[in-house]
Structure 1
Amino acid sequence: MLRRSVLLLALLLSGAVQAEPFVLGTSNQAALARHAPLPTPQADATGSGLRLSLDWTNEFVLDQRGTEALLLDGETLRLNLAARWNWRGWLLGAELPVLNTSGGVLDSPIESWHQFFGLPNGNREDEPRKQYRDVYQRNGQTLLDLDSGKTGIGDARLSLARCGAAGCWRGLLQLPTGDAERLMGGGLGGALWYERPYAFAAGGAWSGALAAGVAAVRADGPLQDQQRQFIPFGWASLGYQLLARLELGAQFYLHGPLYSDSELAALRRPGGQLAFGLRYRPTPQTSLWLGAQEDPIIESSPDFSIHLAVDWH
């Protein structure tokens, strides 16, 4: 089994590179992950453009172990504008998100979805629907207690990349422009990673990308004393060109734990996000994206996210 996996990885890495392989621009949208400079997957190695994306996320975590108790219950709309420029062979980028947190409207559909497929609800039925509530208690102290949503900016990001025939080295600087006390961000840090687009054959129907790197962060906020400073991460995507303008695909994003010194699964576990989606190209310069994201590693990522995006090249 190990030998077959190594051979498959070698095949991917040696395959022909496609200019725009299938990559979903999604990552961990959890409330307690917004401080971390985890990069948004991308595989653009060609030039200038704009991307407008919307992530609609529903999150519910209810856990108590030892002297710790955590409740995360709410929805987030994250609107992100990103721009990129090609300057003398370097790819420069900047992005700024706007966040809206609230009780939302997805609780009932998600409960029905879980019930239909026989999936666990995680005690969702024990809490009021359309509720916004974030509470963390530790050793008899309440470190986090939010009961109303907010609209505001998140953490701004600047990026730099250098791409060659094999792949891209990418770097990210995150600025703490978000409100750390309201879980809107507040993390000063950066990330460095290598991304390798691939295709099984030149001009073939299958494409994707592999990436791996590490992030470093120092953030304020209610849980600042438990935040990990260094976070490894990576992702793998695979897409299939079904029609001339339509591609379908999947992506798995994995990162290390964001917190330490905790028995709660939401804090001590690594995060994993499995996304499925499609890309439609009405013109050669425009891409429309639609995706959905789930949490195969439960509680360390939100239950469900919807991803919408448009790219202009």
Structure 2
Amino acid sequence: MMQRGRVETGPVGGGQSGRRGRCPGLLAGLLLAVLADASAAVEPLYSKNLSPAAGLLGLPSPRAAALSAAGSWQLAIHGSIGSHFVVDENGAELLRLDGESQRLALELRHGLGEHWELQLELPWLAHNGGALDSPIDGWHDLWGMSDGGRSELPRDQLDFRYRGPGAEFTLRDSAAGAGDLMLALNRALWTGETLRLSAALGYKFATGSERELLGSGGEDAHLALRAGWTPRDSRFSWQGQAGYLRAGRSGLLGAGQRRELWFAGVALNWAASGRLALVGQIDAHGAPLDSALPALGGSSLRLSAGGRWQFSHRWALELSVVEDIRVETAPDVIFQASVRWRP
């Protein structure tokens, strides 16, 4: 990643010719400052699976391998809206997910020292009928796409149900409240000119209501390895993560719960201009349940596409859309927005 440089110029003679001589240097210095501002904000897109099952586990969102400077703070607010539609049945299992989930999260990062950082995430969740069914139906009709039966059911209703061996949950009334708090300790492993590596040890506390599908009811721990690579003289950069989650027991998932999950992701960031970056990203994780239903027993694969606008030295706005590449293992569509602040 580029670091803010200090441009020094030698003395310039007075008069009109001196001012002309200074102009290219001033313009170059301004361009370098703008580019430095944008490169400082290089991050993968914030991405969470909002599925009522996998979304409650302590799977960490992708983030940059670069850590906060010692003693500094970073702040971000992430908002997500996901539309669900799954109707599936197989033998002893029945699943119906029809509704909408919203998630708002406050993220704080604090540099503890030269190589250490503490990261805290405080989420708020809501499940309800929402208002996305009509525009999604219109999108399917416009392109002649199959909607999987979505248009045959009443619009904007909430109906989350699962029945399986040793597990059952139902949510028909809207619910909202605090989710499961997450805390992580990050450690820088390598900081080079083009490559950064870091590791994270995280823990998810059972602070959300299990009955209202605001929390899993279990406490999870994860280990993650992250990398960021920015080739010299390139507008492109790569970020990636891979890790392991040990999930606590969840009454929602019952005896069939898989407690050993993997997760991974990779993002390609293109600096389209000094302040605008476009990002494409793929994220995946293991299935939360030993189930014959793809929505619960299949590994999730999601594609995110979006952009980040560094509209000032400290502030950036991020917008993205997330699609379930592996159908039903995540919401049909997730709209994501983030505001980031850094010193």
If the length of structure 1 is used for normalisation, what is the TM-score? 0.89
Deviations 1:195-228 (A, max 9, x none): 11112x2252111212111111113333232211
Structure with higher strand content: 1
User: Unaligned 5+ residue runs, structure 2?
Assistant: 1-38
CA distance in structure 1 between the partners assigned to 2:252 and 2:60 by the alignment: 23
CA distance in structure 1 between the partners assigned to 2:251 and 2:152 by the alignment: 28
The equivalent of 2:97 in structure 1 is: 72
Deviation at 1:116, TM superposition (A): 2.2
CA distance in structure 2 between the partners assigned to 1:68 and 1:230 by the alignment: 22
Deviation at 1:22, TM superposition (A): 3.9
Deviations 1:131-174 (A, max 9, x none): 001111236x9822211111111100101111121311112110
Q: Secondary structure at the match of 1:34?
A: helix
Question: Which runs of structure 2 are paired with 1:147-162 in the superposition (5 Å)?
Answer: 147-162=172-187
Deviation at 1:76, TM superposition (A): 1.2
The equivalent of 1:137 in structure 2 is: 163
Amino acid aligned to 1:41: P
- Residue 41 of structure 1 pairs with residue 51 of structure 2: no
1:123 maps to which of 126, 143, 149: 149
Mark the structure with the bigger radius of gyration.
2
The equivalent of 1:173 in structure 2 is: 203
The equivalent of 2:220 in structure 1 is: 189
Q: Is the 8 A contact 1:49 1:84 kept in 2?
A: yes
Q: Is the 8 A contact 1:19 1:45 kept in 2?
A: no
| Higher-RCO chain (CA-CA 8 Å, sequence separation at least 6) | 1
The equivalent of 1:82 in structure 2 is: 107
Deviation at 1:34, TM superposition (A): 2.8
Question: Which runs of structure 2 are paired with 1:194-233 in the superposition (5 Å)?
Answer: 194-199=225-230, 201-233=231-263
CA distance in structure 1 between the partners assigned to 2:199 and 2:167 by the alignment: 42
Q: Is the 8 A contact 1:37 1:187 kept in 2?
A: no
Deviation at 1:114, TM superposition (A): 2.1
The equivalent of 1:14 in structure 2 is: none
What is the percentage of aligned positions where both structures have the same residue?
A: 31
User: Unaligned 5+ residue runs, structure 1?
Assistant: 1-17
Deviations 1:41-97 (A, max 9, x none): 110624120111100111111011122111001111111001010011211011110
Q: Is the 8 A contact 1:23 1:209 kept in 2?
A: yes
CA distance in structure 1 between the partners assigned to 2:303 and 2:78 by the alignment: 18
CA distance in structure 1 between the partners assigned to 2:91 and 2:153 by the alignment: 21
Amino acid aligned to 1:226: G
Q: Is the 8 A contact 1:22 1:207 kept in 2?
A: no
2:85 maps to which of 40, 57, 60: 60
The equivalent of 2:287 in structure 1 is: 257
Q: Secondary structure at the match of 1:187?
A: coil
